[in-house]
Structure 1
Amino acid sequence: MKRARRQRKAGKQKQFDEEVWDEEVEQPQETPAADSDETGWTTSTAHLSGITRLVRLGAWALVASGPVFGVLALLGSSGPAQGVAKPVTAAAPASQTGPAGFAELFVAAYLQAGQGSERDLAPYYSGSVVLSVKPGTRTATQSTVIASREVQPGYWSITVAADVTTQDDKAKAKRLGVQYFRVGIQATGPAGAGGTATSAAAATGYAATSLPAQVAAPSALTPGALAYEADRGSSSTDPAVETARGFLTAYLAGTSELDRYTSPGASVQAISPAPYTAVKVTGVKDDATSSGQQKVPADGTVLHQLIQVDATDQAGSPASLSYALTLKSRAGRWEVSSVDDAPAIRASSTPSAAPHITPTPGAVTATPSPSPSSS
């Protein structure tokens, strides 16, 4: 009986232990209080886990969008930058060389042509023309273009100066002097040929729109004042004049080396072969402020000269020439540093109108025959 009682007591204890275990398992565990640091920020395992997931998602998003950003950057770099103007190629200006040369040939052919030889003008002017002058009566011994203007794209006004000589019935020549003829020329082809075509391979052609018109000579001018105010004559005692004389004799006649008279490094070469056998200085002007140049001034002093010479050629004939020289002093002597491109003029010096000269009477003009449409 005692044994049965002990068994019942042991069973009750076991049942009690099982009930207590079940209660502990079923009771929800309390979430540990979040640790708070001194800064006031609160962290927890759940909170950190959420942040980690967000960071991971953001990283994958960046990886996935990388190719898209690359394509956008490539497209942006290949397009024109905002605010930067595209370079514009300026159109080349039309050249007057072709129309001018054509007009010069036309005027020469026009002066030479006459009654019965009108067909000689066909390459230049296709209009119907009847000339009344005898062929060969007039000749342009020299001609040159002195003015050109593009009236409209591809259409030019060209003025030709011609030195005209005429012959009478006895074939006696008489110089009529320089006469001026204006011609209208149409051009086809690219701008380099005077035309309007945009392609450089476009065919080039020219045509006169009428016979030449004789016009007045351009106004003659008196040049402005030169910068050489001191007249030295042709004194042989002036060291600067002596240098100029020796230099021009070597330059024109080849009697000695130029190095004797030029500054170190001066790029001056004598004319070869020498066109003259002797040179004589007939006048010297310079821009020196002192009254005389008997003594060479300090090194580096610059002097500008205008030299007039008579040079004798191989046949013994003299030729009058003028040279503008720049001299520089060195080691107690004058040396030529350059042969100037043109005589020096005073600052703000401008040419003025020359006295009127009555032009030479014009040559016989030709009259074109009426066109069929005007009859």
Structure 2
Amino acid sequence: MKRSRRSARRENEAWPEGAVVETVEPGPAEQDDETQEAAGWKTSTAGLTGLARLARLGAWALIASGPVMGVLALLSSSAPAQSAPKPQAAVESTAATGPAGFAQLFVGSYLEAGEGTEKNLAPYYSGSIALTHPAGTRSALRTQVMDAREVSSGYWSVTVAVNVAAKSKKGGYTDAGVQYFRVAVQSTGSTTGNDTPGYTAVSLPAQVASPRSLKPGDLGYPTSRGSGTADPASDAAASFLKAYVAGQGELDRYTAPGVRLSPVTPTPYSVIKLTGVQDDSSDSADNKVPGDGVRRRLLVSVDATDADGNTFPLMYALGLTARAGRWEVSSLDDAPATAAQSKPSSAPNAQAPAARGSAASSSGS
């Protein structure tokens, strides 16, 4: 009773004086909704209880399988992938200097050896050999390696060109021309570390045909000026070469501004004679100096005579540029121009940019 009175008193105090409080009873629809919600909650709770059990079981299964999965991951990472190609061991390649030098020495000794001197080949070839021709029948004047290929690791094929001198029946030697020999050379030592590799020939030299030589292309000097100096360009080239290789005059007098060339020292020749001039001009009768900046390429042949009276033919490729009514040497070319590099224009003296002094200096100094 006391509790009922206290509750009623509190309710009366919560509402203002004179306010009417009505109590609304739930309708049939609302009672049905509440009943369904209660039933649904009970059903969801029961379903969640089963899911929770499954989740706990799955968690324990993951925990239990963790070590097994870690071991499998370790094994899969250490094992090579089946799709990845297996790396192949690289073939170590040594420098060709050693096999090439060995082959040159072997071919030289082979040509000079003969009956009774087979032991001279022992440092190069360990196989048995019996020679029947007299020693010294042939001699190697000069040898030059033309090709050296490593056919496999430490195994080389070397082709040597030899200028052979053959001994005649009268005792003198005649030039037998250039002959070619191929030698198989094998490395016998380590190519790494501080060890010096050794070499041996696995067989005697094989004489082979000369390598195919290329046919030289046409040079870019279609016009011949002859051996005279009436042409101003030919005269300028002859004066320049006299100063360059014979010490006759100063080079600065015949070179374009900015071009720095040094004469050949010590002076090898005393007399220079012009024997032929070819250029890239299309007009062989043009003997006038064109306007400033016009360029011309010359291929100049000379006979150079030394202090003892010996004469030697020489050939120079020069670039000339016109300036102030005269030709000046603007470049001493590294090599004669080919037809593809020098195309004569339809006009006899077409304008072209002047040669840069830095380029001429680098190629001719």
**TM-score normalised according to structure 2 size:** 0.65
Residue 221 of structure 1 and its aligned partner are, at CA, apart by 4.0
Deviation per CA, 1:308-354, whole angstroms, max 9, x where unpaired? 111112221221111111112222221112221111112299xxxxx
1:103 aligns with 2:96: no
Q: Which residue of 1 aligns with 2:293?
A: 300
Q: Which residue of 2 aligns with 1:328?
A: 321
CA RMSD of aligned residues (A): 3.0
Q: Which residue of 2 aligns with 1:140?
A: 140
Checking the alignment, whether the CA contact within 8 Å between 1:188 and 1:203 is kept in structure 2 is no
1:210 aligns with 2:203: yes
Deviation per CA, 1:283-325, whole angstroms, max 9, x where unpaired? 1111123444422222222211001111112221221111111
Residue 94 of structure 1 and its aligned partner are, at CA, apart by 4.1
1:184 aligns with 2:198: no
Q: Which residue of 1 aligns with 2:227?
A: 234
Counterparts of 1:102 and 1:265 in 2: how far apart (Å)?
48
Counterparts of 1:132 and 1:257 in 2: how far apart (Å)?
63
Counterparts of 1:216 and 1:91 in 2: how far apart (Å)?
30
Work out the number of aligned pairs and report it: 263
Q: Which residue of 2 aligns with 1:29?
A: none
1:270 aligns with 2:263: yes
Q: Which residue of 2 aligns with 1:156?
A: 156
Counterparts of 1:139 and 1:246 in 2: how far apart (Å)?
44
1:284 aligns with 2:277: yes
Residues 307 and 153 of structure 1, relative CA distance in 2, 3 Å threshold: same
Residues 348 and 250 of structure 1, relative CA distance in 2, 3 Å threshold: closer
Residues 114 and 240 of structure 1, relative CA distance in 2, 3 Å threshold: same
1:225 aligns with 2:227: no
Q: Counterparts in 2 of 1:309-348, with a 5 A limit?
A: 309-347=302-340
Residues 212 and 307 of structure 1, relative CA distance in 2, 3 Å threshold: same
Q: Which residue of 1 aligns with 2:167?
A: 167
Partner amino acid for 1:343? P
Residue 164 of structure 1 and its aligned partner are, at CA, apart by 1.0
Residues 256 and 210 of structure 1, relative CA distance in 2, 3 Å threshold: same
Counterparts of 1:328 and 1:200 in 2: how far apart (Å)?
57
Residues 298 and 160 of structure 1, relative CA distance in 2, 3 Å threshold: same
Instruction: In structure 2, list runs of 5 or more residues that go unmatched.
Output: 1-89, 343-365
Counterparts of 2:318 and 2:105 in 1: how far apart (Å)?
39
Residue 294 of structure 1 aligns to a residue whose secondary structure is coil
**TM-score normalised according to structure 1 size:** 0.63
Residues 187 and 260 of structure 1, relative CA distance in 2, 3 Å threshold: farther
Checking the alignment, whether the CA contact within 8 Å between 2:189 and 2:199 is kept in structure 1 is no
Checking the alignment, whether the CA contact within 8 Å between 1:189 and 1:200 is kept in structure 2 is no
Q: Which of the pair has the greater relative contact order for Cα pairs under 8 Å at 6+ separation?
A: 1
Checking the alignment, whether the CA contact within 8 Å between 1:267 and 1:338 is kept in structure 2 is no
